[in-house]
């Protein structure tokens, strides 16, 4: 059984700060409890299948010129530098 404290801790680690904290935690708690149904699926011995993606199917790693100057779409930039909020 998942505790509400564990959910609160995850929310804190994910830097999610919501106003009606309690309601969120309760709903997420209900959702996670529903996932307990997975325990009765009997899949413990099942292999997880993965799809191989050969390197040859990836596109060539080369520069593709972009016609627009993306930096000009920003509100805060100087020359070729982006001005981001200062963080301490």
Partner 1 sequence: MNLKISALEYVEEVKNGNVSAEDFVSATIDRIKDVDERLHAFLQVNSKAVEQARQVDKKIKSGEKVGACFGMPISIKDNICIKHSKTTCASKMLENFTAPYDATVISKLKQQDAVFVGKANMDEFAMGLTTEFSAYGPSRNPWNTDYVPGGSSGGSAVSVSAFQCVASLGSDTGGSVRNPASFCSTVGYKPTYGLISRYGLISYANSIEQIGPVTRTVKDTAFLLNILSGLDANDNTTIDNGNQDYLSEIDSGIEGKKIGIIQEMMGEGIDPAVLSATNDAVSKLEGLGATCESVSIDMVKYSVAAYYTITATEAGSNLARYDNLRYGYDFPVEGFEFNSYISKARSKFGPEVIRRMILGGFVPSSGHAGKYFLKSLKVKSKLTKEVNEAFKKYDYLVAPTVPILPFKIGEKIDDPVALFLVDINTVMSNLTGIPSISVPFATSNGLPIGMQLLAKHNDDKSLLKAARALETTVKLPEVPI
Residue 22 as a binder of partner 1 (CB under 8 A): the answer is no
Residue 52 as a binder of partner 1 (CB under 8 A): the answer is no
Residue 46 as a binder of partner 1 (CB under 8 A): the answer is yes
Give the integer Cα–Cα distance in Å for 2 and 37. 14
Residue 48 as a binder of partner 1 (CB under 8 A): the answer is yes
Query: Residue 4 to residues 17, 22, 29, 42, 60: CA-CA distances in angstroms?
Result: 15, 9, 7, 27, 48
Which residue from 34, 52, 78, 81 is in contact with partner 1, where contact means CB under 8 A?
34
User: Residues of 57-87 as b/e, b for ≥16 C-beta within 10 angstroms?
Assistant: eeeeeeeeeeeeeeeeeeeeeeeeeeeeeee
- Give contact residues for partner 1 (rule: CB under 8 A): 2, 6-7, 10-11, 13-18, 24, 27-28, 30-32, 34-35, 37-41, 43-44, 46-49, 53, 57-59, 66, 68, 70, 73, 75-76, 83-88
């Amino acid at each position: 059984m998942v505790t509400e404290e564990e959910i609160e801790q995850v929310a804190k680690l994910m830097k999610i700060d919501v106003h009606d904290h309690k309601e969120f935690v309760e709903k997420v708690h209900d959702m996670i409890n529903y996932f307990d149904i997975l325990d009765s699926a009997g899949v413990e011995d099942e292999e997880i299948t993965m799809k191989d993606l050969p390197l040859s199917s990836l596109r060539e790693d080369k520069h593709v010129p972009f016609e627009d100057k993306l930096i000009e779409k920003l509100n805060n930039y100087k020359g070729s530098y982006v001005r981001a909020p200062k963080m301490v």
